Structure 1
Amino acid sequence: MIKPISITAIGSVSPLGDSLDEVWSNYKKDSHFFRKKEFESGEEWIAGLSQKSLEEIEALKQSDSKYKNLDNTVLFALLAARKAMKMAHWKAGDNFGINMGSSRGATALFEKYHKEYITENKASTLSSPTTTLGNISSWIAHDLQTQGPEISHSITCSTALHALLNGVAWIQSGLVNKFMVGGSEAPLTPFTLAQIKALKIYSNSVEDYPCQALNLEKKRNTMILGEGASVACLENGNSKNALATIEGIGYATEILKHNISISSDAVCFQRSMKMALAGTNPDDVDVIVMHAPGTIKGDISEFKAIEKVFCNETPSLTTNKWKVGHTFGASGALSLEFAVLMLVNQEFIGVPFIESTKPSKIKKIIVNAVGFGGNAVSILLSK
């Protein structure tokens, strides 16, 4: 158990929109947000930002000469952080901490600069400072005028929830009272797509729902890449304006047999969920927002872990990857946003192509994330 920490604001930009009202409205629709995009290898499914959001990003990019050379990973994070700060009523000088992460970082810029180097045998002046992972939190601190601390990191696809772990730890230590945490990812690039396709896990489905996340009967992998960022504002104690309260945190890493695999019953998830539940009756959990990337092994192993932890009282299960794809380092933060919105609105959003039991109430939700390396994180939220 940890001392209560409040989530007082969430800001995001994703295929679902860039305001909580718009995001919630789109969650209530049974439609997905995928479209086909032309790459060198042909047309592929992706979940990209809306034209409205892209225009907002472009306006941000042009608003300051220093922002014109930043990668979308940083720009997405800046926009989401501004929205979160405004909602939380934080101000410059509050000296809150920042921990924003990304699985891949400035991949579009890196690919651009590397191509220039191969072609011209020289590197651009800004190729180093604009592709370092520390860019994300540092630029947010600059933009919001806070004094720190600032942390950027990559822990593959559990990056955003690891940022939340860090924020909780800093607040619990008494060093700060507020921390901004989250993840940002802009992976819709040719090389990133080629890497994921090489793993044989990308969707080539022609079905109505091309990502079959949480369909445990699927016969092929159906992961699809998405982009976006999400930021949560954490404050010490039970805040009157809290959207949700963090009641428990859990984390675990398991010994791997392969670079990208986890055990068939996701031992890391079993351990992280049990840790997050410390002092809480598992029967009191109403919903689990699963990582469920849409791969055969990934979805089933997490489900088996849930069965082992919750036995015959499995909570209602859901995921958002059938709708917005896998946003890598940002995915845990977008799942957190999803969970908070269900708590706030007291409405369960399931997966339309599978049968799911709706909970009679929504008081406690677990959010899961895991990445390459078997590094799982579980967060227990309550309203």
Structure 2
Amino acid sequence: MNHRVVITGIGIYSCLGQDLESVKKSLFEGKSGIVLDQSRKEFGFRSGLTGYVPEPDLKARLSRRQRIGMHQPAMYAYMSTIEAMELSGLDPDFLEQNETGIIFGNDSTAASVVEAIDKTKEKRDTTLIGSGAIFQNMNSTVNMNLATIFRLKGINFTLSAACASGSHAIGMAYLMIRQGLQDRIICGGAQEINPYAMASFDGLGTFSLRESEPVAASRPFDRSRDGLVPGGGAATVILESYESAKRRNAPILGELVGYGFSSNGDHISNPDIDGQLRSLQMALKQAGMNADEIDYINAHATSTPVGDASEARAIYEIFGDRVPVSSTKSMTGHECWMAGASEIVYSMLMMEGGFVAPNINFESPDEDTAKIQVVAQTKNAEINVFLSNSFGFGGTNSTLIVKKWNP
């Protein structure tokens, strides 16, 4: 039996704001969260640009024992998850008594590892690292901390798939619920914001050097784009079977109807249009939809010359120039492991608000980007169905399709 999979809660903690309302306002206003972080320049970065995300103070919310195993990804994810749970009408007592899973996308906890090693080098004694370090260091830090704090009893694992991690986490949760293996799963993505996590990216020369005007640095689809800007935080999406949501009178915000995926099987970092096309086509087929039924596309476009051009060609081949397209990375930068989840949240807010957020800094298209309908200014629009792309290093591709709830 294939169960309908609905969205009953969303939460966000990002450079656009630390709650749904402030983020929705930033999206509508086309407000960027990108700044120049001078400490990165002092650290040795070529580019000091980043999406600024404050680290939350959890002392008033969690005990020391609960906090000790948490580093940035888990902290951010806790904040986005409590917001999503509140919206969904879930509380720890319910979760303890009713099997609920968790699948989060996360592909690094670099800072905590470096800090533990530095302490060992300084003290020359591993026993002084601290009891919480092991739980901070593991890529599964988000899952192990949240599953413990919220007393979750269902599926529990971290999905690591580069910049498609958050999207695949939602996709895997969708498949499990659809097949009846779980009633509900808390899923999403988290991305740490610190120099240790981003230094190797900077060393590859992938970051924009447009430091004189930080808010104009991330320029997806624009001819003058010169590289991405790193961002981060966390986003949570609560998926549930329709039957489960109905039993507890949960709010239904939308329905996840399609998940497509593929591997390029080619270059480790360069994009491949064939892989992207297969992911898009699979999502449409699974949703039982035609291309002309999609009202909005939240593009993966990260502001790199080759990547944006490749995605523009893939979008044009399937959708032509009919569908409004924007990349919210123009405002957030590339949120990496969380991007596939945060862009579902951003698009859900647009669907609810009746608008398409702008692809800011889109001033002059190139040969490929001129063929698709990139939305450069906020546009009032009814979004009944949206599609979100996520493509990652190693050639991993993910596409999700969400529609307004229709009983």
Same fold per TM (> 0.5)? Answer: yes
- What is the match of residue 7 of structure 1? 7
The structural deviation recorded for 1:212 is 3.2
- What is the match of residue 333 of structure 2? 325
Among candidates 88, 96, 99, match of residue 100 of structure 2: 96
The answer to whether 1:242 aligns with 2:252 is yes
- What is the match of residue 368 of structure 2? none
Unaligned runs of 5+ in 1: none
The structural deviation recorded for 1:57 is 4.2
Change over 3 Å in CA distance of 1:133–1:196 after alignment to 2: same
- What is the match of residue 300 of structure 1? 309
The structural deviation recorded for 1:321 is 1.0
Q: Write out aligned runs for 1:181-260 (5 A).
A: 181-189=187-195, 191-205=196-210, 206-207=212-213, 209-218=215-224, 220-221=226-227, 223-237=228-242, 241-257=251-267, 259-260=268-269
Q: Equivalents in 1 of 2:200, 2:49: separation in Å?
A: 15
Q: Equivalents in 1 of 2:58, 2:266: separation in Å?
A: 39
Q: Equivalents in 1 of 2:203, 2:292: separation in Å?
A: 41
TM-score (norm 1): 0.90
Give, as a single letter, the amino acid of the residue that structure 1 aligns with 2:119: E
Change over 3 Å in CA distance of 1:108–1:321 after alignment to 2: same
Instruction: State the SS of the aligned residue for 1:226.
Output: coil
The structural deviation recorded for 1:41 is 1.7
For the 8 Å contact 1:72–1:186, the answer to whether it is kept is: yes
**Going by fraction, where is helix more abundant, 1 or 2?**
2
Change over 3 Å in CA distance of 1:117–1:44 after alignment to 2: same
Computed over aligned residues only, the root mean square deviation of the Cα atoms, in angstroms, reads 2.1
The answer to whether 1:154 aligns with 2:160 is yes
Q: Equivalents in 1 of 2:218, 2:152: separation in Å?
A: 42
For the 8 Å contact 1:204–1:210, the answer to whether it is kept is: no
For the 8 Å contact 1:5–1:246, the answer to whether it is kept is: yes
The answer to whether 1:281 aligns with 2:254 is no
Report Cα offsets for 1:111-164 as digits up to 9, x if no partner. Answer: 111222344444324333321122211211111122122111211111111111
Q: Equivalents in 2 of 1:187, 1:338: separation in Å?
A: 19
Change over 3 Å in CA distance of 1:169–1:364 after alignment to 2: same
Instruction: State the SS of the aligned residue for 1:187.
Output: coil
TM-score (norm 2): 0.85
- Aligned residues, how many? 371
The answer to whether 1:115 aligns with 2:136 is no
The structural deviation recorded for 1:324 is 1.2
The answer to whether 1:353 aligns with 2:353 is no
Report Cα offsets for 1:176-228 as digits up to 9, x if no partner. Answer: 11111101111322x3332111111111102463333323412522x111120
Q: Equivalents in 1 of 2:225, 2:162: separation in Å?
A: 26
For the 8 Å contact 1:288–1:366, the answer to whether it is kept is: yes
Q: Which moved more, 1:152-161 or 1:192-201?
A: 192-201
- What is the match of residue 269 of structure 1? 276
Q: Which moved more, 1:5-14 or 1:33-42?
A: 33-42
Change over 3 Å in CA distance of 1:210–1:41 after alignment to 2: farther
For the 8 Å contact 1:11–1:231, the answer to whether it is kept is: yes
- What is the match of residue 41 of structure 1? 44
